[in-house]
Homo-oligomer: A and B are copies of this chain.
Amino acid sequence: MPEPWSNEQFMAQLRKVGESRYHDKHPYHVRMHEGKLSPEQVRGWVANRFYYQKNIPVKDALILSKLPSREDRRDWIQRIIDHDGRGDDEGGIEAWVRLGEAVGIPREEMLDERHVLPAVRFAVDAYVNFCRLRPWPEAVASSLTELFAPTLVSSRIGVFEKLYPWIRPEGLEYFRARLQQAPRDADQGVGLVMRECKTRKEQEAAVAALSFKCDVLWALLDALSLAYPDEENRA
């Protein structure tokens, strides 16, 4: 086995995954950020991405159950609270339901999963099972798409405001909250992965986990591309 990477080399390998495979490069996502999606295509994205959103606390509870110490759990639990809410804070899942309402999807249609495509379900379930079944450092590494999320989410707020003026602005609260949460989560995740993945084999497994997670997000957009084709590509 080759020598372990230095922390800097390891981070560079992780960032390279994002540069080549993060879902901002998917044609459906590129078109979204160019303002070219139809309302129906935006609604498809919001309703299907909700199946991913609602499974975040599930995969985070599975990771929580595997973390080796009370201290690690005390940090990680914040992710579940961010999505489920606590006390007066309604949390990210409710905020995403409101995004649905802001783009014209009734709450009931979000909650009953009628718009969720089978391939989206398979991809998200694969992600949850990855977190359930793989060693926890790999599960944590798979969350490191958060390294690339803030830049994308930040531009998405502007895109939605300017290029999709028909989306009611109160629907964007989820993205605003993530601007604070994602960098903190990324720092914590990187800290755990750097601490735990000391051999080259473990480091490569972490990179593969992040690559797998990019595949999950990519598959979601592939499924949307087929189900909600551009006007010019319709039969």
Contact = CB atoms under 8 A, between A and B. Distances in A.
Interface of A: 54, 57-59, 61-62, 64-65, 70, 73-74, 77, 80-81, 83-86, 91, 93-94, 132
Given A61-B62, A77-B77, A77-B80, A70 B94 contact: yes
Q: How many copies does the complex hold?
A: 2
Contacts of A65: 58-59, 61-62, 65, 132
Contact of A93 (B70, B86, B91): B70
B86 A74 contact: yes
Contact of A74 (B59, B85, B132): B85
A188 to B, nearest CB: 15
Contacts of A83: 70
A222 to B, nearest CB: 27
A62 B61 CA distance: 7
A94 B70 CA distance: 9
B94 A84 contact: no
Given A61-B62, A62-B65, A64-B61, A73 B80 contact: yes
A171 to B, nearest CB: 18
Contact of A84 (B57, B74, B80, B85): B74
Interface centre among A57, A73, A81, A85 (most CB of B within 10 A): A73
A57 B73 CA distance: 9
B64 A80 contact: yes
Nearest to A72: B84
A168 to B, nearest CB: 22
A4 B84 CA distance: 34
A54 B67 CA distance: 12
Contacts of A81: 77
A91 B70 CA distance: 10
Nearest to A62: B65
